[in-house]
Structure 1
């Protein structure tokens, strides 16, 4: 029996899963990764820690599975970048994580070009994406080596290739989304015209071979983590949508073979290129989901994320939280936004504060779902969900209540790795269809809305007004902080 080692290299950890020929999970190993959150909106991580987490989790999973490998697949963070030496593979800088906001210095001076950038890329001119971070590294840290997303560096260490997959490239602000090719004009705009860029490959391309985890096997199944989860959750038809609750929360909806531009502040990306066909998605982001819960732990309101449902009060007691601790993403795109609690009294306890943060996370996702409905012309009939925070029934019920949409819980917390494994399966068995490679699954649980539509609408309106009043206050403050 041969199997696929699928590695999900994420923001707060790396998960390695060995997947059998029938799609069954044979072994799982995880290694934590903890980014450094710095003053001035910096978020960095040691690249060597990322590599060690890939090696350690991969070796442990392979040893536990005890079966031959047929391929190694990799899902990546998408917008985390570093500079490194191509000759040695040695990092020249720390990795700048997707949450890092310091490249506002780059995007700010390009504000006049925002419409052009959006039209060419399907994205918003924002520090979240790769190109501004790449330029920031060049201006502040080093002009040596190559500057790329972490997937290119990790794959190079695995097999020597210098590539990035099409979905990761589409998150850069340097890819012409309709042509699916590097855009020379955009590269010049970001001052990256002279850079050596990786070759763009399909998600089911074999890019080399590796013996890092034992016998020499193909490296394939390269894909951004969120698109991998969209694939694993069988969102294969236009209009189907999922949300992954990890460090952040990421809602994606399949829009088919045309790069539909959002009218609501969402972004358009390549979902995947498989079997010679390119599929697109629209997506929105919540920057702090599990990272907001980790903040609650750091404050002492929780001893562990597993306490969420035990500590969260049944009602928020009128407390409202805007947990935009790393800025507000779609549809506001205000990386300078700060977080707040409102409506507290002497009767407010930690249960109400925790409940309000959960509702604040769910509310941001509900705003994204409403934006998707506007872009698609009709609401999605169900929201499929995955990720570590889906273990909180309180959060998932709040999500169904506030979005007024049934929530289907994906069985298990491994959708990202399983999506990468599906892409790798297509690489080594091109006779498969995409649906066959993904396989069938049944929801572990279905959450139906319990709030009335009026209550949900009132909550959404109050939350949006609270966030936007804070954004106005930030703009009016001379220091940029109200």
Structure 2
């Protein structure tokens, strides 16, 4: 039995750190804010030093809250956020370009003739969301110096001096061969990155080095990209099961087992994790704006924060004919139209803040429902339930809308911070190879189960209205 571990989830808007004891559960917790800059033209940037500061500050504070030593560290990361940096000094050479950033659209347009081949080789559609287009943009527009990598590589180097990435994070670049789980030389050629020095691709449960960033020397024994870490913590380990995490965006992942799957329905086929040399795969669908759309409503003064969703939304019985397509950073799976803009239709003089909140909940839930349909089509069988986690699952209004539009139960995790819990699980596996995945992952149970209340006809009507609004967006001027 391993002792407590420090699990750190470095996310878009903040870093969460937990001290997790195998017997007592979470015994210390802390967080540190991160403030990305949202700029014109769909650009989203953050100072990499702020990411590292947040990791160190949250980790140290969680250890102080726990008041006892830990045996190892696990780190989860944002996935598709990239930067250039000096591998000798560790100094960042650029800001980090955040996963939501759309500036590499021009590169994707230029490389469109390679899109089908790239999707077959890497499992990923050609889109600025993924790391490789951003990496190519940095090389063309900002600097040829140093190395250009995903943010986890820089963070791990800053913490331990190692130059590695885990297989699941590497799978978010569009440079990893989905079958061999190694870097694809032809994919690197397509993006003009053939001469790059690339990190070693390691298992999630690997002892990559030692860090003194949190105090006494600690081994870093677990690395995993954020959504796959949540997938593991939700115990979505058998084919045909799925989870959705509602954070800055909403991310639905379905386990497909030991063989890679190429989606025929607009999803991403990718590595779920590689543990002890064995690879598991998943299908992945994304909603680019979930909590970030709530923040947008907050910035407009419609609500004062996510905590208002239910109180404001419950002032009205429904959306009052308002349809909100929250494509504020483009549409991801299954449409893959990064040029799409959000829309709000059906407004009247009687439209209230409550109607807008209801419409936002329906808009997020409808996009997730499209992803569930795509998963069901790819797997050849419908999902019977959806496990969910993330900050927005605190909204009963959103979760009920999700159950209604899916027409299946929505099971809310009783354990908050699923991503950090997944990072803690792989840290334990890396520290003690005798542990099984089942032993390392916390027991899963729901804190609430939302059963569908709306009839199937009413749910279909709400989804049809949303899809009509999406169609109008996509058929209109870009």
Shorter-chain TM-score: which interval? over 0.9
1:144 aligns with 2:172: no
In structure 2, relative to structure 1, the CA distance for the partners of 1:345 and 1:8 (3 Å cut) is same
User: Pick from 362, 370, 375: which aligns with 1:372?
Assistant: 375
1:456 aligns with 2:459: yes
Runs of 4+ in 1 over 2 A off after TM superposition: none
Give the drift of 1:67.
Answer: 1.3
What is the alpha-carbon distance in structure 2 between the residues aligned to residue 185 and residue 352 of structure 1?
50
Question: Which digits, 9 at most, give the CA deviation of each residue in 1:239-262, with x for residues without a partner?
Answer: 110000000000000000010111
User: 2:33 maps to which residue?
Assistant: 32
Per the normalisation by structure 2, the TM-score is 0.98
1:195 aligns with 2:196: yes
Question: Which digits, 9 at most, give the CA deviation of each residue in 1:181-222, with x for residues without a partner?
Answer: 000010011000000000000000110111111221210210
1:12 aligns with 2:5: no
What is the alpha-carbon distance in structure 2 between the residues aligned to residue 98 and residue 281 of structure 1?
20
What is the alpha-carbon distance in structure 2 between the residues aligned to residue 116 and residue 429 of structure 1?
40
Unaligned runs of 5+ in 1: 475-479
- SS of the counterpart of 1:40? helix
1:465 aligns with 2:471: no
RMSD of the alignment, in Å? 0.9
Question: Which digits, 9 at most, give the CA deviation of each residue in 1:402-444, with x for residues without a partner?
Answer: 1111000001321000011111111111111111111322110
1:427 aligns with 2:421: no
- SS of the counterpart of 2:155? helix
What is the alpha-carbon distance in structure 2 between the residues aligned to residue 86 and residue 144 of structure 1?
10
- SS of the counterpart of 1:69? coil
- SS of the counterpart of 1:284? strand
User: 2:347 maps to which residue?
Assistant: 344
Give the drift of 1:23.
Answer: 6.1
Question: Which digits, 9 at most, give the CA deviation of each residue in 1:78-133, with x for residues without a partner?
Answer: 00000011111111100000000010111110101111000000110111100000
1:255 aligns with 2:260: no
Give the drift of 1:314.
Answer: 2.9
1:115 aligns with 2:95: no
User: 2:318 maps to which residue?
Assistant: 315
User: Pick from 356, 363, 366: which aligns with 2:366?
Assistant: 363
- Equivalent positions of 1:380-459 (< 5 A) are 380-459=383-462
User: 1:227 maps to which residue?
Assistant: 228
Question: Which digits, 9 at most, give the CA deviation of each residue in 1:140-164, with x for residues without a partner?
Answer: 1111111000000000011000000
- SS of the counterpart of 1:223? strand
Q: For the Cα contact (< 8 Å) 1:23–1:439, is it kept in 2? A: no
User: 2:274 maps to which residue?
Assistant: 273
What is the alpha-carbon distance in structure 1 between the residues aligned to residue 318 and residue 289 of structure 2?
22
What is the alpha-carbon distance in structure 2 between the residues aligned to residue 361 and residue 425 of structure 1?
35
- SS of the counterpart of 1:444? strand
Q: For the Cα contact (< 8 Å) 1:80–1:96, is it kept in 2? A: yes
User: 2:291 maps to which residue?
Assistant: 290
Unaligned runs of 5+ in 2: none
Give the drift of 1:170.
Answer: 0.4
Question: Which digits, 9 at most, give the CA deviation of each residue in 1:427-468, with x for residues without a partner?
Answer: 111111111111322110000001111111121122112112
Instruction: Judge which range, 304-313 or 121-130, deviates more.
Output: 304-313
What is the alpha-carbon distance in structure 1 between the residues aligned to residue 93 and residue 57 of structure 2?
22
Q: For the Cα contact (< 8 Å) 1:2–1:67, is it kept in 2? A: no
Give the drift of 1:25.
Answer: 0.4
> How many pairs are equivalent?
475
What is the alpha-carbon distance in structure 2 between the residues aligned to residue 385 and residue 260 of structure 1?
23
Give the drift of 1:369.
Answer: 0.5
User: 1:477 maps to which residue?
Assistant: none
User: 2:80 maps to which residue?
Assistant: 79
Question: Which digits, 9 at most, give the CA deviation of each residue in 1:383-410, with x for residues without a partner?
Answer: 0000000010100000000111100000
Per the normalisation by structure 1, the TM-score is 0.97
What is the alpha-carbon distance in structure 1 between the residues aligned to residue 101 and residue 291 of structure 2?
16
Give the drift of 1:34.
Answer: 1.6
What is the alpha-carbon distance in structure 2 between the residues aligned to residue 168 and residue 460 of structure 1?
33
